[in-house]
Structure 1
Amino acid sequence: MKIAVTGATGHLGGKVVAELSKKTSKNDIVALVHNKVHAKNLIEQNYEIREIDFQNEISLYKAFSGIDTLIYVASKTYSVFDRVHELENVLAAMKEKHVGNLVAMSFIADQEDNPFVMSPFYGYLPRRLAGTDLNYAIAKNSLYADPLVPYLPELIERKGLIYPVGKQAMSFITLDDSAEAMATMALNREILKSRKSYLLTQSRSYTMPELGAVMTEVTSHEIGYHPVTVEEFGKIYVAEGDGTELASMYKGGAMGYLHGLSDDFAHITGHEPETMEHFLSREYKKQ
């Protein structure tokens, strides 16, 4: 059975490829990349590499030839129109090339009144898939814990978290755990036939004072909670290119839309997800 992974040179897609390699033959894995120039590491490991352009259906037809299951890690964009167009192209190519199984990446912020700019796409995804004949499973990620690690020096300097979510809690999952779950889902026929969404979270969520306490313990530096407004947050990170978009996500967080919890990860993989305490401690020691 051939399994193709989009975004195979990215943070999540690359980890999905690695997790699949632990569970099935490398000969059954196809790494889909935007440009082979960036796939040197995968080429050296003898993975089959195919180039794709999400906005070009012909390239998708070629890339999906002979594929049984697609793991769709969407491109990184804050344009709802572009993401929907991308999805429609993927589904058209899957239909044309008779790819019958799909594991699709999604995100916890999919509520109909969530102000996060990408919420419309994440609400569209399950409804669109429900109208297909595909076997599919949706991996709905909570917030990734991984970006917290390089953020720690700034938090130490600020002496506190500044996320504008007030008293609301937020849920997290590590990229490694998300990748393991998605790879497992792609190899489980029962899950693929379920046509359901699976929420991937750690076993607990955190208010910002609680998360700050964990970070204080890990770093031995006092990290409290000194929230800014949504508008201030957007301005602080505007230079990084996504301040406004992230601010909209945390605005939804302040409405309680980023704190969902689930034991789906354990049911999928057979073990508990890595805790925030263990993850941050492990990764901080590498700094």
Structure 2
Amino acid sequence: MKYLITGANSKLAQKVTHWLKTMTEEANIRVGLPSLSEKHEYRDLEVDKVELDYTNHHSISSSFKGIDLVIYIPTIGLDLSNRILEFENILTASEKAHAKFIFVSFFADQANNPFLMSPFYAYAQRRLAGSGVAYTVVKNTMYADPLVDYIPELIKRKNIIYPVGDQSLSFITLNDSAHAIACLAVQKALRDKGQSYLLSMENNYNMIELAYIISHATETEIGYDPVTIEEFTRIYHNPVMTSLYAAGGKGLLDATSRDFHKITGREPERMNHYLRNGYQIAKLLDY
């Protein structure tokens, strides 16, 4: 079985690769990188490294030669037309190669979701349903990893300020997401029939609960004092992030499932454990 991982310069793809190589020989793994001339995380691995240009059909077809299953991790970007073109090119290549398809998606894909990238995730899933490709959809919840980087700012502010009111948010760690994706890739019984999986921690968290967990992880008193959407936009100048929390405030980012356990056989890392360990490691790296 030969696997192609797209978007291999992303942190998620790197973690998927490291999990997958514990389940199959490195020679069975191909990673698609924007450029082979730049430094990348795969130099010391025996995986097959190819330059994958989503706008170049020859580059794409070459990358797909001999591939049995593609793990499609979309490029991050605001341009919806480019994202859809990228997806269509990869889907066409999968059809021609008769390759199975795992689409790594995001759970903010509801019809009424204001998240700016929601249209792409909704389109891709519906497009797959009408294709002739044997596919599986894996929907990530919000990544917990950025919370560790955000902790120093939280300590200064003494409050979480996310404008989501009394609504809850669901999370998964990058490492757990990658583990589930790799497990799915090697377990034929769980894929290829249009299944859709949601990767989340066991519980979602409202901001009071999240503030309590962060307070204990940092031994600092953290509260919850939400700003308005307008103030959040002024502080961060990030329309994607703003639209994400607008979706959270509508209760559209609180879904959880047991799918992670179904795929991996273990429980996802708990938020309190992840933040405590992540914060302690971050402090050690600062010394």
Smaller-chain TM-score bracket: over 0.9
Residue 102 of structure 1: how far off its partner (Å): 0.9
- The equivalent of 1:247 in structure 2 is 242
- The equivalent of 2:259 in structure 1 is 264
Query: Does 1:67 find its partner at 2:67?
Result: yes
- The equivalent of 2:175 in structure 1 is 176
- The equivalent of 1:90 in structure 2 is 90
Letter in 1 for 2:129: A
Query: Does 1:284 find its partner at 2:279?
Result: yes
Q: Secondary structure at 2:22's aligned position in 1?
A: helix
Matches of 2:120 and 2:176, distance apart in 1: 23
Residue 63 of structure 1: how far off its partner (Å): 0.6
- The equivalent of 1:221 in structure 2 is 220
- The equivalent of 2:195 in structure 1 is 196
Query: Does 1:230 find its partner at 2:225?
Result: no
Matches of 1:209 and 1:156, distance apart in 2: 15
Matches of 2:176 and 2:76, distance apart in 1: 20
Residue 39 of structure 1: how far off its partner (Å): 4.7
Offset from partner CA, 1:185-233 (integer Å, 9 cap, x none): 1111122223111000000000011100000000011111111111211
Matches of 1:265 and 1:170, distance apart in 2: 17
- The equivalent of 1:10 in structure 2 is 10
Comparing 266-275 with 76-85, which one deviates more in the overlay?
Answer: 76-85
Residue 40 of structure 1: how far off its partner (Å): 4.1
- The equivalent of 2:285 in structure 1 is none
Matches of 1:41 and 1:244, distance apart in 2: 30
- The equivalent of 1:79 in structure 2 is 79
Letter in 2 for 1:45: L
Residue 237 of structure 1: how far off its partner (Å): 1.1
Matches within 5 A, 1:50-199: 50-99=50-99, 101-199=100-198
Maintained 8 Å contact 1:73/1:104: yes
Q: Secondary structure at 1:167's aligned position in 2?
A: coil
Q: Any stretches of 5+ residues in structure 1 without a counterpart?
A: none
Dislocated runs of 4+, deviation >6 Å: none
Query: Does 1:210 find its partner at 2:209?
Result: yes
Maintained 8 Å contact 1:115/1:249: yes
Maintained 8 Å contact 2:102/2:137: yes
Letter in 1 for 2:218: T
Maintained 8 Å contact 1:7/1:14: no
Residue 80 of structure 1: how far off its partner (Å): 1.5
Matches of 2:224 and 2:40, distance apart in 1: 42
Maintained 8 Å contact 1:30/1:50: yes
Maintained 8 Å contact 2:98/2:133: no
TM-align CA RMSD:
1.1
Residue 96 of structure 1: how far off its partner (Å): 2.3
Letter in 1 for 2:246: K
Maintained 8 Å contact 1:9/1:38: no
Comparing 140-149 with 220-229, which one deviates more in the overlay?
Answer: 220-229
Maintained 8 Å contact 2:14/2:41: no
Maintained 8 Å contact 1:102/1:186: no
Comparing 72-81 with 171-180, which one deviates more in the overlay?
Answer: 72-81
Letter in 1 for 2:89: N
Q: Any stretches of 5+ residues in structure 2 without a counterpart?
A: 283-287
The TM-score with structure 1 as length reference comes to 0.96
Maintained 8 Å contact 1:201/1:265: yes
Maintained 8 Å contact 2:115/2:244: yes
Maintained 8 Å contact 2:101/2:192: no
